[in-house]
Amino acid sequence: MTDPIRHLTEAGRLGRFYSDGAWRDPAAAERIGVVDPAREAVIAEIALCGGPEVEHAVAAARRAFPAWSRTQPAERAALLDRVHGLVLDRLELFARALTAEMGAPITYARRAQVPLAAEHIRVARDLLATYPFLSQRGTTAIAREAIGVCGLITPWNWPLYQITAKVGPALAAGCTVVLKPSELSPLSALLFAEVMDEAGCPAGVFNLVNGTGPVVGEALATHPEVDMISITGSTRAGVLVAQAAAPTVKRVAQELGGKSPNVVLPDADLARCIPLGVAAAMRNLGQSCSAPTRMLVPRAHLAEVEALAKTAVAGFVVGAPLREETTHGAIANRAQFDRIQTMIRIGIEEGARLVAGGPGRPEGLTTGLFARPTVFSEVRRDMTIAQEEIFGPVLAILPYDSVEEAVEIANDTIYGLGAHVQGTDLEQVRAVARQIRAGQVHLNAPDWDPTAPFGGYKRSGNGREYGREGLEEYLETKSILGFYR
């Protein structure tokens, strides 16, 4: 069966949470609708959990932690291997869930959202074969041990991908987890909980509690038995979680907002790098925290860049997510759609020049949360659309007069999550990359690397995900002096 709503309904998952190895009914009967953004229709209802469910899940995770943290890496790797296989076996089911809950085109869900999510599990599994949980420094042993019970808070824009980016390394480290996915895109999380159960995850090691940030998120952040919070979300949400967690001095790892630059150097091959830059900015309809939505280009090449960007946008097909030819589906939720429309209007009012797109829906689409891929040019660095994260298909082109000015503009932001640099002279490309204050920099559109650490400078957060560094976020360091003789 590849219909996620029917599957979850028949399995009785929609109104339940997963804790201590079983699906359970919540204490209250509050429900929230899951909206298909392409149709603006409620397609399912899930249970909204609260304090009692958080208590149950945290207690289960605490009970399970001693035994799970003492398992051998090979045992943890075996579980992750089963999870990895089950995710790939159910690729179509997951893809259709993502299309239904957040408007992703089915082709993109199949090609990127699900397989890239599976990669996080694979990387965590493979790290267990080589990671030195115990190492020697003279006569001292350096032990890396699981931090404990982890509350994992994930967003609506890459629902499954962000779940696996946290669950994989947390379990590999020997932690137990309580997952709170976004209540706006919960279907893929429920399917993932089924995978964990069918993979034979020991009771209490993985738990799922659906609910809102102010209720379930805050309960996890303040809970004295939760040792760590990992959150991916807006900077505002990250600040609130950190404040709530402070009294219990728990570790907080944050992957937050971004306003990433794409620095196109004077010698760049524009015919290649501009279409790639536009595609990167509008991948997942721009609903990615690291999307390079500020394109910095030499002023002398501005007209050529504008023409190339306009042509690139014209090649997009915005429409029903289940159509095979659709490249860009619906914006994930009404609040985000409204914000995108507001920001486009602000761009026009502040004097940026509209190259493509604009406010409203694309021609021919009268319903659904469909936005027009939009390109602004002659954007000044002090404009709202150059400073604030829009989280939609809106690209700002900013001209510069020197490479030094380009670096200055690139760093003129409160964020520092990602960046791109394009150019022919590799030494100059590398030199510019070294000057940009961001946690991950892409040079000349490289392939995605699931082992490359990902995280932010400044208000884009702290801590890292992916690869070895992502695993280490879930570990404590213990030095044992005199261990070796």
Catalytic residue among 53, 218, 255, 389: 255
Q: Is-contact 459 415, C-beta < 8 A?
A: yes
Q: How many alpha carbons fall within 13 Å on the CB side of residue 85? A: 9
| Dist. CA 399–CA 301, nearest whole Å | 9
Q: Which residue has the tokens 């204050």?
A: 437
DSSP secondary structure, 119-137, as one string: HHHHHHHHHTTT--SEEEE
Phi/psi for 199 (5° steps) reads -75, -5
Q: Are strands 353-356 and 31-36 parallel, antiparallel or unpaired?
A: unpaired
- The secondary structure of residue 448, as a DSSP letter, is P
Q: In the chain, count of helices (H) and strands (E)?
A: 17, 20
Instruction: With H, G, I as helix, E, B as strand and everything else as coil, classify residue 41.
Output: strand
Q: How many CB atoms lie within 10 A of CB 88?
A: 15
175 in catalytic set: no
273 is catalytic: no
Q: Three-state secondary structure along 206-233?
A: EEECCCCHHHHHHHHHHCCCCCEEEEEC
**Cβ count near 335 (within 10 Å):** 11
Please, what is the Cα angle at 133 between 130 and 135, to 5 degrees?
95
Which of these, 359, 404, 405, lies nearest to 385 by C-alpha position? 359
Distance between CA 244 and CA 121 in Å, rounded? Answer: 29
Active-site hit among 175, 201, 273, 289? 289
Q: In a 10 Å sphere around its CB, with 0-12 CB exposed, 13-18 middle and 19+ buried, how is residue 376 labelled?
A: buried
The neighbour count for residue 472, using CB atoms within 10 Å, is 18
For residues 468 and 143, give the distance between their C-alpha atoms in angstroms, rounded to a whole number: 15
- 146: its two tokens: 């699981």
CA nearest to 24, candidates 266, 213, 261, 209: 209
- Active-site residues, by number, are 255, 289
